[in-house]
Amino acid sequence: MKADSNKPMKRKQYERELRELHGELVKLQEWAKHAGGKVCIVFEGRDGAGKGGVIKAITERVSPRVFRVVALPPPTERERSQMYVQRYLPHLPAAGEIVIFDRSWYNRAGVERVMGFCTEEQAKGFLQVVPNVEKAIVESGAILLKYWLEVGQDEQTRRMEERINDPRKIWKLSPMDLKSYSRWYEYSRARDEMFHASDTAWAPWYAVHSDDKRKARLAIISHILSSVPYEALPREKIKLPKRQKPHGYEEVNFARNWIS
């Protein structure tokens, strides 16, 4: 990116660079389909860090059949009785798929731990086993990319207040978000321990400052593209065929109700 790192990125520059990256994401998509590539992308971060916006920027110009977004609801009673990572395993990518986790198995190391939905023993047990689980994912042939979006306190406050006051965004604000907002330093400690335990050679964490949403989105998409060895596939020249002749057909007013 060419912008001064200390200045907010302007919309025109952002849209120009995003357009170019969208073209590359389509090339990545076609490569995955052709070569049977498997890519698993994990997004984590505090509430209001911008995970949803990044995912939308990645997926808005590609096929949902290839780029599949997974955002699991709270576990059922049956799922609570399973091995913790078990409910995530069926969603891992098969050949030709790029799966994006909007929060992932790292819920256990973050929100569940901080909000008391699991015990300290369970959280620490998870952190002990997760490197081996991710090693198995990588050894299965998947490219695993893990991103942490780090938002500052002031910017998080601004975004939370925006959710309160903007009727288009109020759905983004839950009682859980308000509780987690008050526990900034508990989340910081949980994040630090999570990084210490799971930032491995085979599945490293990548962190990005997300106070400037536009810069963060471009940085993450660029990093994804640089981390996957995709190639642009040759394309045949496409020419639209001629339309058939009407052979006596005349347009009719086929609908009773039109809207405008």
Q: What's the angle, vertex CA 41, arms to CA 37 and CA 47, rounded to 5?
A: 165
pLDDT for 172 equals 83
> So what's the pLDDT on residue 1?
45
Q: Considering the domain boundaries, does residue 173 fall inside one?
A: yes
Can you give the residue range of the structural domain that contains 110? 32-227
Could you tell me if residue 15 is inside a domain? Answer: no
Considering the domain boundaries, does residue 13 fall inside one? no
Specify the CATH number for the domain of residue 77: 3.40.50.300
- Determine the pLDDT at residue 4: 53
Residue 87 and residue 72 in contact, taking contact as beta carbons nearer than 8 Å: yes
Residues 44, 46: Cα–Cα separation, whole Å: 7
With respect to residue 216, please indicate whether it lies within any of the assigned structural domains.
yes
Work out how many domains the chain is built from and give that number: 1
Return per-residue pLDDT of the chain as tens, 260 residues.
Answer: 444 567 889 999 999 999 999 999 999 999 999 999 999 999 999 999 999 999 999 999 999 999 999 999 999 999 999 999 999 999 999 999 999 999 999 999 999 999 999 999 999 999 999 999 999 999 999 999 999 999 999 999 999 999 999 999 888 888 888 888 999 999 999 999 999 999 999 999 999 999 999 999 999 999 999 999 999 999 889 999 999 999 999 999 999 999 99
Question: Residue 2's pLDDT is what?
Answer: 47
In a domain, 171, yes or no: yes
Asked if the structure places residue 252 within a domain, the reply is no
Dihedral pair phi/psi, residue 24, rounded to 5°: -70, -35
Residue 201 pLDDT: 98
Q: Which helix (H) or strand (E) holds 218?
A: helix 213-227
Whether residue 126 lies inside any domain: the answer is: yes
User: Does 246 map to a domain?
Assistant: no
Name which of 244, 246, 231, 245 is nearest 27 in CA terms: 231
**Cβ atoms 142, 40 nearer than 8 A:** yes
* Buried/exposed 95-130: b ≥16 CB within 10 Å, e otherwise: ebbbbbbbbbbbbbbbbbbbeebbeeeebeebbeeb
